[in-house]
Amino acid sequence: MAKYNYMITLPALREAPSKSPEIARDIVAEWTSRFEQTLSGQKDKLDLTPVFRQDAWVRDFLGLSWDFRTINGLDEISAYFAENQPRARLGGLRPREQGVFRP
């Protein structure tokens, strides 16, 4: 069978200490707040180290540009946000409070 170059090995993450919905909401709210502060607090060079791992993946569904994009790696993600955030001006990010897709 041919080896496909788009096959990846996902990182092994440690299991969360709690699977409580309340704690999940707190974690998502804290990360979202930190992400928004990171985006708004840097003008010259965007450093997303506080909110993304080195081996992170981001999927942009028309949020920052008019292209569907999948970006891998902290440096690539930082460059993508640095290029597109000044125009897109993401802000007011909040996790869902109701519905089936809330944390």
Cβ-in-10-Å burial (0-12, 13-18, 19+) of 73 comes to middle
pLDDT of residue 42: 66
**Residue 1 in this model has a pLDDT that exceeds 60:** no
Q: Structure pTM? A: 0.76
pLDDT of residue 3: 64
Name the one residue in this structure whose structure tokens are 């640095």: 82
Cβ-in-10-Å burial (0-12, 13-18, 19+) of 48 comes to buried
Question: Of all residues in the chain, what percent carry a pLDDT higher than 70?
Answer: 91
Q: What is the mean pLDDT of the chain?
A: 85
Cβ-in-10-Å burial (0-12, 13-18, 19+) of 77 comes to buried
